[in-house]
């Protein structure tokens, strides 16, 4: 009897232990799992739901099934011209093969470290193989600046000359690939290396590119120099227009003054002719009175200017002493 009780107690304890250990487990939506027995994978679970395991033997290791984001740190990278820039990239990835992932990396944190190692290496390689402009520009729209100049409301200013000056001063070289193509190349290079870890790399995007502290002053100095030279081109164009308008204004002034002088001389000639006619008419009516009046008018003009008079015995002063 005692033996039966002991056996029953042992069975009950084992049953309780099995229940406590949990023969059932749940795989949630967005999760996948591998079942490991003593370090060896026995099953891979990729569907959500209630699952069964062997207590104390099967270990359930869950991994996310969703797309995850990898956010790298900004790294200083040399370009083909040995100019150093900061490159900051982000990537999206997911675990495609949980078995390979467990066997090669095991944890998500380790996966982030491995992605950082792979992507940073490819970023350095791709950036170092290309000129600076390929990394910082994504198109050649900067070469098409004439339309921008046409919309500045410059009136009659020769926009062709200004556009030519802008393009010559700036000396922008066209790109052949651009930042987006470089990001696609980084993705292609990195994607070839991650499948062995059970990972799929979905995309790699360049989030930010900035100049290093050594390169920034020279870039700003070049930008200031370009802006100043373009401003000088505008000023030179304006000065040329100013000189043209001043010359035109001077010619118009001379033309107006010449026409006015001609008209004034014509009027003056007519007035002199009319005055001569009036004088002649008055002289013909009464010659004596006319001579007397002319002499008196002459005295009024000349006498106040005499400082002293030595003699008045002259024909000129005859009306001062004779009423006739």
Residues in the chain: 324
Using the predicted structure, report yes or no on whether residue 70 has a pLDDT greater than 90. Answer: yes
At residue 204, the pLDDT reads 93
User: Is 298 within the bounds of a domain?
Assistant: yes
Give residue 28's pLDDT.
87
Please give the average per-residue pLDDT across 255-270, as a whole number: 91
Is there a single domain that holds both residue 110 and residue 201?
A: yes
Q: Are residues 291 and 307 in the same domain?
A: yes
For 281-286, what is the mean pLDDT? 73
pLDDT value for 153: 47
Co-location of 189 and 56 in the same domain: no
pLDDT of residue 158: 55
pLDDT interval class at 161 (50, 70, 90): low
Q: What is the pLDDT of residue 151?
A: 45
- Give residue 230's pLDDT: 78
**pLDDT of 91 higher than 90:** yes
Confidence (pLDDT) at 231: 83
The verdict on pTM exceeding 0.85 is no
Q: Clarify whether residues 190 and 290 are in a common domain.
A: no
Domain count, the chain: 3
Average pLDDT, stretch 9-22?
54
Q: Is the pLDDT of residue 282 over 80?
A: no
Q: What is the mean pLDDT of residues 99-117?
A: 92
What's the pLDDT score for residue 22? 59
- In the predicted model, is pLDDT for residue 99 greater than 70? yes
Predicted confidence (pLDDT) per residue in 203-258, tens digit: 999 888 887 666 667 667 777 877 887 788 888 888 888 888 988 999 999 999 99
With bands split at pLDDT 50, 70 and 90, how would you rate the model's confidence at 16? low
The residue-averaged pLDDT of 43-48 equals 86
For the cut 50, the answer to whether the pLDDT of residue 56 exceeds it is yes
Res 202: pLDDT: 94
Tokens of residue 66, six digits: 């969703």
In-domain check, residue 109: yes
Q: What is the mean pLDDT of residues 262-279?
A: 87
Quote the domain boundaries for residue 78: 68-139+175-214
What's the pLDDT tens digit per position in 287-316? 777 777 777 778 787 777 777 666 666 676
User: In this predicted structure, what is the pLDDT of residue 141?
Assistant: 73
> Which CATH number characterizes residue 124's domain?
3.30.479.30
* Domain match, 90 and 210 both: yes
Q: 56 and 82 in one domain?
A: no
Q: Is 72 found in the same domain as 202?
A: yes
């Amino acid at each position: 009897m005692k033996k039966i009780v002991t056996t029953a107690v042992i069975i009950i304890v084992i049953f309780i232990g099995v229940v406590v250990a949990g023969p059932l487990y749940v795989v949630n939506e967005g999760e996948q799992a591998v079942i490991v027995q003593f370090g060896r994978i026995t099953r891979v679970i990729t569907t959500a739901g209630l699952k069964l395991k062997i207590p104390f033997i099967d270990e359930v290791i869950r991994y996310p099934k969703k797309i995850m984001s990898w956010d790298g740190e900004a790294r200083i990278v040399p370009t083909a011209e040995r100019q150093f820039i900061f490159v900051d990239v982000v990537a999206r990835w997911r675990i495609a093969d949980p078995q390979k992932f467990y066997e090669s990396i095991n944890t998500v944190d380790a996966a982030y470290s491995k992605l950082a190692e792979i992507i940073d290496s490819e970023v350095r390689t791709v950036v170092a193989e290309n000129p600076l402009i390929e990394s910082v520009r994504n198109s050649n729209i900067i070469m098409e600046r004439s339309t921008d100049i046409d919309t500045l409301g410059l009136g009659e200013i020769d926009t062709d000359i200004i556009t030519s000056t802008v393009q010559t001063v700036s000396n922008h070289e066209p790109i052949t690939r651009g930042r987006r193509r470089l990001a696609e190349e980084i993705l292609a290079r990195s994607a070839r290396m991650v499948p062995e870890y059970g990972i799929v790399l979905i995309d790699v995007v360049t989030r930010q590119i900035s100049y290093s502290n050594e390169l920034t002053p020279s870039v700003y100095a070049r930008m200031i120099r370009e802006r100043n030279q373009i401003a000088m081109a505008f000023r030179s164009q304006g000065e040329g227009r100013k000189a043209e308008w001043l010359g035109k204004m001077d010619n118009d002034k001379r033309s107006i003054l010449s026409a006015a002088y001609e008209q004034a001389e014509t009027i003056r000639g007519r007035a002199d002719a009319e005055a001569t006619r009036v004088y002649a008419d008055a002289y013909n009516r009464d010659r004596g009175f006319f001579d007397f009046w002319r002499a008196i008018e002459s005295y009024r003009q000349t006498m106040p200017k005499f400082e002293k008079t030595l003699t008045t015995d002259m024909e000129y002063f005859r009306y001062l002493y004779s009423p006739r």
